[in-house]
Amino acid sequence: MRKEDYKIKVLVTGGAGYIGSHMVRMLIEHKNSVVVLDDLSTGFQKSVLGANIVIGSLCDKEFLDSVFAANEFDVVMHFAGASLVSESVINPAKYYSNNLIGTINLLNALNKFEISNLVFSSSASVFGIPNYLPIDERHVQAPINPYGRSKSIIESILNDYSIAYGIRSVSLRYFNAAGASLDGKIGELHDPETHLIPLVLQAAKHDQEFIIFGDDYDTADGTCIRDYIHVLDICDAHLLSANYLISGGETCSYNLGNGNGYSTKQIVKVAEAVVRKKIKINIGPRRHGDPPVLISNSNKIKNDLAWVPKFFNIEDIINHAWAWEINSRF
Ligand code: UDP
């Protein structure tokens, strides 16, 4: 393919991570030109086989300059960053250094190289404990852990950079990302794994016990409720956001979920139906920093960008995760 046939030129930071690697694949499938920037601290090179990858850190300004000097980009999709709530409570220095300094360096490079479009991976954790449900974009931001605070501060920085330097951005506040590619070749991969759906499926696969973090929350069955959204629907939202920015769209933020809440116990039940066996569970203590219920109102992105989630069915989401878990986990 000739260079001019590519649709858009995209830098994907954190492109070797869980959501980033699905994004890279989707961009390539849609015949866009992609450069992956990743320090491989939590991502895996094997998740982006065949993609153009530069390995280095956003905290290294000279490296960043060299990437922007060597390539032209229409838009940057910024997935890179540390993303574990519990780790952020124990090690806030890591979260403020990686997430804040890394993002500020990236924004300064965008400014220097006159790139004005950025799609940012924000999070439902910017809201903290919700005052009302489902959570829309007008809900107050009151994060309850350093991870959520780092995302909320970055959203404020993005607004300031938009006003001062004209770098326009879309912040996508994901609720709970889940699922895998439809061919089961890439999927959720963290080391160590801390997320609900892969841990439940791994417990099923290895006949191990799965520990539920607390069953004394103020919910119908006492376990936490979350809004699980398919990784491919998140990637669709990124593509729509990139096109919106390229056609001159203003800086904004969107909540991204399906609007359906499932308790941890309900997820275990659905997983049992998918894997066709009983999963051993035990009840452990609550995990620090877990809000009882998080459910998104995503009407704004549906109305503004015509985002339509394709895989909102929780059984489909867990089915795709299971196919990845049993067939192709490399
Ligand atoms: N969870 C659990 N046991 C685990 C991992 C997660 O009970 O081993 C619960 C967790 O307390 C939360 C939900 O599953 O209520 C989703 O957690 P996850 O870490 O997947 O995502 P988060 O909501 O923290 O972004």
pLDDT per residue as tens digits for the range 180-225: 999 999 999 888 899 999 999 999 999 999 999 999 999 999 999 9
* Residue 199: per-residue pLDDT: 97
Long-range (24+ apart) CB contacts under 8 A made by 56-63 are: 57/102, 58/13, 58/98, 58/101, 58/102, 58/103, 58/105, 58/106, 59/97, 59/98, 59/101, 59/102, 59/105, 61/105, 61/108, 61/109
Q: Tell me, in angstroms, the distance from the centre of ligand 1 to residue 226's CA.
A: 9
The string of pLDDT tens digits covering residues 46-89 is: 999 999 999 999 999 999 999 999 999 999 999 999 999 889 99
Q: Which atom of ligand 1 is nearest to the CA of 267?
A: 14
For atom 22 of ligand 1, the residue with the nearest CA is 176
Catalytic residue among 18, 147, 228, 244: 147
- Using CB distances shorter than 6 Å, the residues near ligand 1 are 85, 176, 194-196, 199, 211-213, 224, 226, 264, 287, 290
* Residue 196: per-residue pLDDT: 97
For atom 15 of ligand 1, the residue with the nearest CA is 224
Q: Where are the domains of the chain?
A: 7-179+229-258+297-310, 196-225+260-296+315-327
* Token pair for 300: 């704004």
Residue pair 19/231 in contact by the 8 Å Cβ criterion: yes
Q: Tell me, in angstroms, the distance from the centre of ligand 1 to residue 308's CA.
A: 26
Average pLDDT in the 274-289 region? 95
For atom 13 of ligand 1, the residue with the nearest CA is 196
Q: Tell me, in angstroms, the distance from the centre of ligand 1 to residue 51's CA.
A: 31
Q: Tell me, in angstroms, the distance from the centre of ligand 1 to residue 111's CA.
A: 37
> Three-state DSSP class for 275?
helix
124 pLDDT higher than 90: yes
* Residue 288: per-residue pLDDT: 85
Q: DSSP E strands: which ranges in the chain?
A: 9-13, 33-38, 52-55, 75-78, 117-123, 168-174, 176-178, 210-213, 225-226, 228-230, 252-256, 262-263, 281-284
Strand partners, 53: 36
Q: Which atom of ligand 1 is nearest to the CA of 264?
A: 14
pTM higher than 0.95: yes
* Token pair for 171: 């912040």
Q: Which atom of ligand 1 is nearest to the CA of 195?
A: 20
Q: Is 6 a catalytic residue?
A: no
For atom 14 of ligand 1, the residue with the nearest CA is 196
4 pLDDT higher than 60: no
Q: Tell me, in angstroms, the distance from the centre of ligand 1 to residue 195's CA.
A: 6
For atom 10 of ligand 1, the residue with the nearest CA is 213
2 pLDDT higher than 80: no
Distance CA 252, CA 66 (A): 29
Average pLDDT in the 292-310 region? 97
- Hey, which CATH number is domain 7-179+229-258+297-310, 3.40.50.720, 3.10.180.10, 3.90.550.10, 3.40.50.620? 3.40.50.720
Distance CA 246, CA 233 (A): 20
29 pLDDT higher than 60: yes
Percentage of the chain modeled with pLDDT above 90: 93
Q: What are the DSSP calls for 107-159, one per residue?
A: HHHHHHTT--EEEEEEEGGGS-S-SSSSB-TTSPP--SSHHHHHHHHHHHHHH
* Residue 129: per-residue pLDDT: 94
**Per CATH, domain 196-225+260-296+315-327 is 3.20.20.70:** no
